């Protein structure tokens, strides 16, 4: 099994020690692209891919969607240490995520690969699999650390085959305004019943809803919908089972008590609503934690969230790594993936970029104000489940949103609405 060399680990350790010494605590610059369902439009670095140098230097060309600050850490620290350890130079190539599937299809069919490795949203893998665009990596299972969180392993497998490698998980946690909760004599809800009570109490005490969910009739609305259904023991792909009916019935009760900004709340605006004190409780991705701190909003704290009648569950987001079918750089790509999954690199990504770790033992450098947030992240990741990749997802999205509009917002009969929606899902499946 490949492991990070002592020399490389020493370099990373020294770098981290310098950072800690300079700051007194670990600083976490913001992630710039962290939104699993909305990663489209991101681009990798603008470097032009180069050929092998002809002097024995190996080059691995990767298509990762990251922001400027994230790439800076990779270029300044991670990639040089990997090259020193292995002799493999990693080059980033520019590719918009929405172009990945068609680009890879053309490359794989022609046999002219210019991408050796790529990262893709864990919930957008179906097309890569059905088109046969990725290598079967089942023979490399022993290169994955035992401490990798189970949800990422589940997301990486299709029909028992390991087609992707764990890389970068993500999960929503519940952010709440501790000061506002204390002023109103309330505590953060941990069950659906408590959530309903808190939402009602805030509305009575302040004259408006202070709890928000992402009810924007867009993709992240479906994310929250799936969590409610699974928390009630339902199957969102069936949609009219008892758990789904219970979830929609609950959301129908909750909706009138929500902050009106729920209709526009997304991965970006939810943070603004929390920061401006218009929303006191709302779920979101953790990328904005450093900004809450830097902006003096220490009263915005976090916990994993609330449980439904069956369980507490969270939708797993993030990215996995794929290797194009027919690649001649499989071993080099596996080495780089293994390096990224190593404990020193994961600790660096956690402490410097506030990325949730792909492994459960990489939070040793988290200090100071970050600790309670990452406790919330770890707790949520322990309960996180992939959404599930289905080939008909693009057509199914509108069915879920129509059901939410009709039953939750307009107040139509839940069972009738979900029976109709389930029939539409079945028709979509049959037409695949």
pLDDT at 42 over 80: no
Average pLDDT for residues 305-313, to the nearest whole number? 98
Mean confidence (pLDDT) of the chain:
88
pLDDT at 45: 44
Token reading at 175: 């952010």
Do 223 and 315 touch, CB atoms closer than 8 A?
Answer: yes
Confidence (pTM): 0.83
Average pLDDT for residues 379-383, to the nearest whole number? 94
Do 260 and 203 touch, CB atoms closer than 8 A?
Answer: no
Q: How many residues does the chain have?
A: 432
Percent of the chain with pLDDT over 70: 87
Give pLDDT tens digits for 75-98: 999 999 999 999 999 999 877 777
pLDDT at 415: 98
Q: What phi and psi values does residue 324 have, to the nearest 5 degrees?
A: -55, 145
Strands 161-162 and 117-121: what pairing? unpaired
**Looking only at Cα atoms, what is the longest distance across the chain?**
73
Q: What phi and psi values does residue 64 have, to the nearest 5 degrees?
A: -115, 135
pLDDT at 265 over 50: yes
Give pLDDT tens digits for 168-190: 999 999 999 999 999 999 999 99
Helix (H), strand (E) counts: the chain: 17, 12
Distance CA 132, CA 110 (A): 13
pLDDT at 365: 78
Do 324 and 115 touch, CB atoms closer than 8 A?
Answer: yes
DSSP character string of 236-253:
TTT-SSHHHHHHHHHHHH
Question: 55-64, 240-249, 302-311, 332-341: which range is least confident on average?
Answer: 55-64
Distance CA 203, CA 205 (A): 6
Which residues are 88's β-sheet partners? 58
DSSP character string of 341-401:
HSHHHHHHHHHHH-PPPSBTT--TT--TTHHHHHHHHHHHHHTEEE----TTHHHHHHHHH
pLDDT at 51: 46
Q: What phi and psi values does residue 336 have, to the nearest 5 degrees?
A: -70, -40
Q: What angle do CA 226, 229, 234 make, to 5 degrees?
A: 120
Average pLDDT for residues 406-425, to the nearest whole number? 98
pLDDT at 325: 97
pLDDT at 56: 64
Average pLDDT for residues 12-16, to the nearest whole number? 42
Q: Which helix (H) or strand (E) holds 3?
A: none
pLDDT at 86: 96
Do 197 and 189 touch, CB atoms closer than 8 A?
Answer: yes
């Amino acid at each position: 099994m490949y492991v990070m060399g002592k020399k490389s680990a020493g370099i990373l350790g020294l770098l981290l020690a310098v950072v800690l010494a300079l700051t007194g605590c670990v600083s976490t610059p913001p992630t710039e692209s962290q939104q699993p369902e909305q990663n489209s439009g991101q681009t990798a670095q603008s470097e032009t891919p180069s050929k092998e140098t002809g002097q024995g230097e190996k080059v691995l060309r990767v298509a990762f969607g990251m922001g400027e600050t994230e790439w800076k850490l990779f270029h300044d620290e991670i990639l040089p240490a990997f090259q020193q350890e292995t002799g493999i130079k990693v080059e980033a190539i520019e590719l918009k995520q929405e172009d990945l599937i068609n680009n890879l299809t053309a490359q794989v069919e022609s046999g002219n690969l210019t991408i050796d490795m790529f990262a893709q949203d864990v919930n957008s893998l179906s097309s890569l699999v059905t088109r046969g665009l990725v290598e079967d990596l089942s023979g490399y299972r022993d290169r994955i650390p035992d401490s990798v969180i189970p949800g990422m392993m589940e997301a990486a497998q299709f029909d028992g085959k390991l087609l992707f490698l764990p890389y970068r998980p993500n999960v929503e946690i519940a952010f709440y305004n501790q000061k506002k909760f204390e002023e109103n004599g309330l505590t953060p809800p941990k069950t659906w019943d408590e959530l309903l009570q808190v939402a009602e109490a805030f509305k009575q005490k302040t004259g408006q809803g202070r709890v928000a969910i992402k009810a924007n009739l867009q993709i992240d609305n479906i994310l929250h919908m799936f969590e409610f259904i699974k928390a009630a023991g339902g199957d969102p792909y069936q949609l009219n089972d008892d758990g789904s009916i219970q979830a929609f019935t609950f959301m129908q009760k909750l909706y009138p008590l929500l902050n009106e900004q729920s209709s526009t709340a997304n991965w970006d605006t939810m943070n603004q609503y929390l920061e401006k004190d218009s929303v006191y409780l709302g779920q979101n991705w953790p990328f904005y934690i450093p900004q809450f701190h830097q902006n003096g909003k220490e009263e915005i704290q976090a916990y994993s969230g609330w449980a439904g009648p069956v369980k507490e569950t969270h939708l797993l987001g993030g990215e996995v790594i794929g290797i194009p079918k027919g690649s001649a750089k499989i071993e080099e790509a596996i080495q780089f993936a293994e390096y990224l999954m190593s404990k020193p690199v994961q600790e660096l990504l956690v402490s410097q970029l506030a990325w949730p770790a792909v492994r459960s033992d990489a939070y040793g450098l988290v200090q100071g104000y970050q600790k309670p947030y990452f406790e919330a992240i770890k707790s949520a990741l322990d309960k996180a489940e992939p959404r599930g990749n289905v080939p008909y997802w693009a057509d199914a999205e509108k069915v879920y949103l129509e059901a939410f509009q009709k039953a939750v917002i307009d107040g139509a009969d839940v069972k009738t609405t979900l029976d109709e929606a389930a029939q539409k899902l079945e028709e979509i499946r049959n037409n695949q």
